[in-house]
Structure 1
């Protein structure tokens, strides 16, 4: 079952809310002879999480089917990059599981012990069965917090976002059944409004499609930090009138000097599912734009695309917050 994005957390006496952890959604099938972990896209994740499969085998009876989020904590915060390392660790996987153990934060039960399918039961009853099932489970298997108290939800969004790295909240009807593939839940992502410098665009300077963003670090280097969603027609026209190609004085040996490679490596642009380098047009990094972004910010980059709000001709690139680290200069913004 999936969640549809919303602009505000729904308030309704029949709705409960859960923190949205930044991890990998996974369904766990406790089979007679082991455990099978499946990603939202249907990928087999079993081999990458031996610590989680061991915990499930020890605590969950055969036949049960669980739904939840695989996460890895580092210094008290979720770290999405540590999940990705599981896939590429190779022979170092067992060492990685010891040093950075995963947790499986569970929020639903699709089949109870013995294989009893309970999709049609209301969420409140599925939740009660899930809690009973996990009563004696190890700490790596835990039930996600759940509340109908909007004050507590506000506390999660204000404090947990910074402290633990949650992305927002997911809201669900207590009386709702589990409908695979349907967006019957709601998700609200915590957003910030901030500024960034324009270092390039896809499309052309006169008709930009998306914007490549950057921030300066303490050494004065413009670092790539992310990419916007496609611009609207009005936004294209606004930005096109402000962009300039690289100035001739930046040429060295006949080549234009720019702080980023062209094309942009797929690992930079986040196109890991389609790992082709991104062609773009380099521009003079003098224009500042205002953006809306979520809190998935790792390795000095926004992991998800951000939303372009407007150009800021009144702001200098030297007034854009410095790129100090993954938390500094980002989570302090409003």
Structure 2
């Protein structure tokens, strides 16, 4: 039977909350840190759609083939593509798969194979389930997933608030990104932020060692601040950016930071980046296939000012997402901004997440 749900379909989204909602009528799942993907299975093949409605099949041939084997025709499944390693999820390895060379994709598919974690069902046997409540879609997804074998997985699911709180604490050690909460009576609302995501938020004191101009006002408006932390060897490493400022604050930052631009490059710890090859993954001003041609040129600052930022977690030795500016720390010396201030996450076996079950 042909599927009644055809691509493109905007995925249902989530809005951020500070705490896991409690009370009757909620269901909870881990939040996976990967590439969102909707799999459309029909006429013996699969089309994998990304969050921004683009095809993903050529980058993940092993996932495509597994979905062809594991899903029946007329089925549309929402989920996440992840790469699982003994130390948890590896988002860097996942990004490496978005490469134009087919030979490289094939090699990486063998060396770092990806998995698909299903968490919603939009259609089955040609039936459009998007108007059905979460509870119905989940029950049908569980029946469908009963025959899944790796690399296909079904995300854990619980109605127990205490279990969700436990997951938020423990699963981060496997590389997961938090917890998703959704109403049991809610339909699948494409493109709408009807789910709730609760992520880990921590703070760190960072050295402000540079900035980028805002596209709306080069020379007048600061776009983002470049953040650094000292490693054990005393080297200032670039760890990320903070950029959520109002236009008025951006203009004030340009004036406030102007004195720190004087002679900034003379002894700057990132001075070599001014002439480094553009392919360097560690250079704040480098362009790459992830930046989509954006102007990432940067202005050095004497690394004398410290700010406190909120962040969710590290990916390797950098913040996974842009950090949120909290306040300036004039009482904090730059030398005190070290990696050892950051909270260390206790490792957790990813295999235990795949097999976790709530009531």
TM bucket, shorter chain: 0.7 to 0.9
Task: Say if 1:209 and 1:236, in contact at 8 Å, map to a contact too.
Answer: no
Partner of 1:228: 242
Pick aligned residue for 1:290 from 286, 308, 318: 308
Pick aligned residue for 1:251 from 258, 263, 266: 266
Partner of 1:18: 29
Deviation at 1:139, TM superposition (A): 2.2
> Structure 1, residues 144-179: CA drift from partner, whole Å, max 9, x if none?
111222222222222211x11111111111011111
Partner of 1:176: 186
Task: Say if 1:223 and 1:259, in contact at 8 Å, map to a contact too.
Answer: no
Deviation at 1:293, TM superposition (A): 0.7
* Residue correspondence of structure 1 range 92-107 to structure 2 within 5 A: 92-107=104-119
User: Relative to 1, partners in 2 of residues 1:250 and 1:80: Cα closer, same or farther, differing over 3 Å?
Assistant: closer
Task: Say if 1:16 and 1:146, in contact at 8 Å, map to a contact too.
Answer: yes
Partner of 2:84: 73
Deviation at 1:202, TM superposition (A): 2.9
Task: Say if 1:30 and 1:36, in contact at 8 Å, map to a contact too.
Answer: yes
Task: Say if 1:3 and 1:186, in contact at 8 Å, map to a contact too.
Answer: yes
Deviation at 1:250, TM superposition (A): 6.3
Deviates more, 1:130-139 or 1:218-227: 218-227
Partner of 1:148: 159
Task: Say if 1:251 and 1:257, in contact at 8 Å, map to a contact too.
Answer: no
Deviation at 1:207, TM superposition (A): 6.4
* Residue correspondence of structure 1 range 123-272 to structure 2 within 5 A: 123-161=134-172, 163-203=173-213, 208-232=222-246, 233=248, 241=256, 244-245=259-260, 248=263, 251=266, 258-259=270-271, 261-262=273-274, 268=283, 272=290
Partner of 1:306: 323
Task: Say if 2:263 and 2:302, in contact at 8 Å, map to a contact too.
Answer: no
Query: Structure 1: which 5+ residue stretches go unaligned?
Result: 323-327
Task: Say if 1:226 and 1:306, in contact at 8 Å, map to a contact too.
Answer: yes
Q: Which of structures 1 and 2 has the larger relative contact order (alpha carbons within 8 angstroms, sep 6+)?
A: 2
Deviation at 1:6, TM superposition (A): 2.0
> Structure 1, residues 25-61: CA drift from partner, whole Å, max 9, x if none?
0000112131110101011101111211222122211
Deviates more, 1:133-142 or 1:227-236: 227-236
Task: Say if 1:34 and 1:57, in contact at 8 Å, map to a contact too.
Answer: yes
Task: Say if 1:235 and 1:310, in contact at 8 Å, map to a contact too.
Answer: no
Partner of 2:18: 7
Task: Say if 2:265 and 2:302, in contact at 8 Å, map to a contact too.
Answer: no
Task: Say if 1:263 and 1:279, in contact at 8 Å, map to a contact too.
Answer: no
Whole-angstrom CA distance in 1 between matches of 2:146 and 2:39 = 17
Query: Structure 2: which 5+ residue stretches go unaligned?
Result: 1-11, 346-359
Deviation at 1:294, TM superposition (A): 1.4
Pick aligned residue for 1:276 from 294, 317, 321: 294
State TM-score, norm by structure 2.
Answer: 0.80
SS of 1:28's equivalent in the other structure is strand
Partner of 2:133: 122
Partner of 2:63: 52
Deviation at 1:251, TM superposition (A): 3.5
User: Relative to 1, partners in 2 of residues 1:243 and 1:95: Cα closer, same or farther, differing over 3 Å?
Assistant: same
CA RMSD after TM alignment: 2.9
